Amino acid sequence: MTTAIPHHSAPRAAYIHVPFCAHRCGYCNFTLIAGRDDLIAAYLDALELELARLDEPRPVETLFIGGGTPTHLPPAQLARLLAIGRRWFSLADGGEFSIEANPFGFDADRVKILADYGITRLSLGAQSFDAGKLKLLERDHSPAEIARSVELARCRLSSFSLDLIFGTPGETLEAWRRDLASALELTPDHISTYGLTFERGTTFWSRLTHGQLTRLDEELERAMYAAAIDGLGAAGFEHYEVSNFARPGHRCRHNEIYWAAEEYHAAGPGAARYIAGRREVNHRSATSWLKRVLAGESPVAESETLSSEDRAREALVLGLRRMEGVDRREFAARSGFEVDALVGRELARFVELGLLYEHGGRVRLSREGLFVSDAIWPAFLRR
């Protein structure tokens, strides 16, 4: 038996996960199945069934379709996906409707469908403009296909973002600067930059452990991140979250809802929702999710009700990832916990180390803290 989503909860955001890609890139450990396009129709049937648990359409301000590669779906199925999303989530006037895309296979037919269904924001997985780096990352597109995708999208969609990866084995600072310059030439509204990570279970992980790939020197990786912060800042982008940069008015509103530790709907394999204080994560295996949903069973693999203290700690970490940081008074009013009561000792230590600083009642990451932020958070989450 599936459990219905309670009606009294009104998350402002919804996420739909699409688990299909043309192939799996070497570094990727997302929930997806490559080369099983025969399952797309069943996936769409299951998605409708999962969303029917809502009983009725829910109003949201942001709807994000991610993956995987949602635009890998053939045009008719892409249209069905968007229709399903819009049927179950009624987007407020002026709402943000985002979709992730990849340059490979992105064409005018798909852009027309995206525009017809009201997509307002395209997030394009460019990753690099260097053919050698794209090959190393096992991406399936060329630099020219990125530019072509952008041209197609620009004609019909109001905002687009580029994802870029830095810190690939053998990459130089100059090469990364060229990537940033090439991205800026396309005049995106938003850029996300991620340092390459080696995740267990990926081919990159096994190549690393077999000595076929080497991690980049930490200092060089740090210099690359600094080049992104400084270069994008100089080009008029606001650095508003550790990995995200936006032209004025083009922040990702959907992610801002996550970072504000608000609740959100979610559907699809591996998708995580947070509703009425409860976190649920769907089965990560697309085929298990599919079988369970089609059999009328719950898609949920794990669920937990967070204590108010755990929620407060998470909200603090999410808030500190944003450059505007956390206002102590606002935080206490929203979470019911004073920052110092939760993490006073740890906070003082990080302030002393120069990784966090306080000004006007706000706690923020310092520039130094930006480079090591992932090492700060566990101390704040631990009780």
Residues binding ligand SF4 (CB under 6 A) = 21, 24-25, 28, 30, 32, 67-69, 102, 125
Q: What is the number of the residue whose Cβ is closest to ligand SF4?
A: 28
Shortest distance, position 266 Cβ to ligand SF4, whole Å: 17
Nearer to ligand SF4, 69 or 120 (CB): 69
Query: Is 67 in contact with 316 (CB distance < 8 Å)?
Result: no
Nearer to ligand SF4, 105 or 118 (CB): 105
Shortest distance, position 191 Cβ to ligand SF4, whole Å: 16
Shortest distance, position 163 Cβ to ligand SF4, whole Å: 9
Nearer to ligand SF4, 21 or 51 (CB): 21
Shortest distance, position 153 Cβ to ligand SF4, whole Å: 17
Query: Is 168 in contact with 135 (CB distance < 8 Å)?
Result: no
Shortest distance, position 67 Cβ to ligand SF4, whole Å: 6
Nearer to ligand SF4, 68 or 369 (CB): 68
Nearer to ligand SF4, 21 or 266 (CB): 21
Shortest distance, position 43 Cβ to ligand SF4, whole Å: 15
Q: What span, in angstroms and rounded, lies between the C-alpha atoms of 8 and 178?
A: 50
Question: Would you tell me how many other CB atoms lie within 10 Å of the CB of residue 378?
Answer: 10
Q: What span, in angstroms and rounded, lies between the C-alpha atoms of 192 and 186?
A: 14
Positive or negative: CA dihedral 18, 23, 27, 29: positive
Nearer to ligand SF4, 66 or 85 (CB): 66
SS3 letters across 140-194: CCCHHHHHHHHHHHHHHCCEEEEEEEECCCCCCHHHHHHHHHHHHHCCCCEEEEE
- The residue type at 371: F
Count the residues in the chain.
Answer: 383
Shortest distance, position 38 Cβ to ligand SF4, whole Å: 18
Nearer to ligand SF4, 61 or 163 (CB): 163
The pair of structure tokens assigned to 180 is 């940033």
Nearer to ligand SF4, 134 or 365 (CB): 134
Give the CA angle between residues 91, 92, 94 to the nearest 5°.
105
Shortest distance, position 164 Cβ to ligand SF4, whole Å: 13
Beta strand ranges found along 176-299 (DSSP E): 190-195, 238-241, 244-246, 264-267, 272-275, 278-282
Query: Is 313 in contact with 338 (CB distance < 8 Å)?
Result: no
CA 271 to chain centre: 12
